[in-house]
Amino acid sequence: MGKPTTSTKLELDISSGSREFHLYAFPKHNNKFPPYSGIGRAGTNWTTGIKGIDVDDIMMSLANDFNTNWLFWFMRKHRNIETNIVIIEPSKLTVAEKLRLHKAYPVLLALGWVKRFKNKHYLINPKVMIPLAENLAKVCEHWFLATGENLGSYINDENQTRQLAQSFANDASNTGEII
The model's pTM is 0.66
Give burial (CB, 10 Å; 0-12/13-18/19+) of 13.
Answer: exposed
Angle between helices 66-78 and 95-111 (to 10 degrees): 90
Q: Which helix (H) or strand (E) holds 167?
A: helix 158-170
Residues 96-147 pLDDT 10s: 999 999 999 999 999 999 999 999 999 999 888 888 877 888 888 899 889 8
Residues 148-179 pLDDT 10s: 888 766 554 556 555 655 665 566 555 554 44
pLDDT at residue 178, rounded to an integer: 46
Helices marked H in 6-131: 55-61, 66-78, 95-111
